[in-house]
Structure 1
């Protein structure tokens, strides 16, 4: 079974996955990347108004086979800005 490496980026830090996990196909890779994004966001909620979290998946040869991103944007309602 192929091994995939899930590198994460929270806008400040890149964490390279040196262990990886074995998964049968790209559908499972996609599902695993999508599951990782909310946890990544929860651990690194933005101090400002916007932040993008990224999971980049490499195969055993080092080639990126999938990239998933989650953006958090905080917007204040226009009438609240002047208060």
Structure 2
């Protein structure tokens, strides 16, 4: 097994993984990174109109081997107060 480190970048604040996780295959590394990102999404969204989550995975030598990310944005449409869905009728 190889030790991988899953560092988290949340809106520019980096939380380095100093413990690491043993993974047998690279597919397992990808699964673990995606699972972790999904869990983070559940805990942190929605939190404002913009949110960026990144998990950067390093191998035991410190080399970046994988990155998964999510950009969350809310964009409101600007509608006139006098318009309605039926205003075209």
- Written as runs of structure 1 = structure 2, the 5 A alignment for 1:25-40 is 25-40=25-40
CA distance in structure 2 between the aligned counterparts of 1:78 and 1:26, rounded to whole angstroms: 45
- Unaligned runs of 5+ residues in structure 2 are 82-89
- Written as runs of structure 1 = structure 2, the 5 A alignment for 1:1-83 is 1-45=1-45, 47-79=47-79, 82-83=80-81
Query: Which TM-score applies when normalising by structure 2?
Result: 0.79
Query: Which TM-score applies when normalising by structure 1?
Result: 0.84
- Number of aligned positions between the proteins: 81
Q: Which has the larger radius of gyration?
A: 2
